[in-house]
Amino acid sequence: MVKRWRQQVKRWMAETLELPADIMMDLPRITMIGQIHIYIENHRGLLAFSDKELRLLLRNGQLIVRGEQFVIKTILPEEILLEGKINQVTYIDK
pLDDT at 4: 73
Residue 34: CATH number of its domain: 2.60.40.2000
If one counts the domains in the chain, the total is 1
The answer to whether the pTM exceeds 0.85 is no
Residue 6 lies in a domain: no
pLDDT at 5: 72
**b (16+ CB within 10 A) / e for 34-72:** eeeebebbbbbeeeebeeeebbbebeeebbbbbbeebee
Residue 14 lies in a domain: no
Q: Which domain holds residue 42?
A: 26-93
Digitized pLDDT (tens) for each residue of the chain, 94 residues in all: 666 777 677 677 667 766 666 555 678 999 999 999 999 999 999 999 999 999 999 988 999 999 999 999 999 999 999 999 999 999 998 7
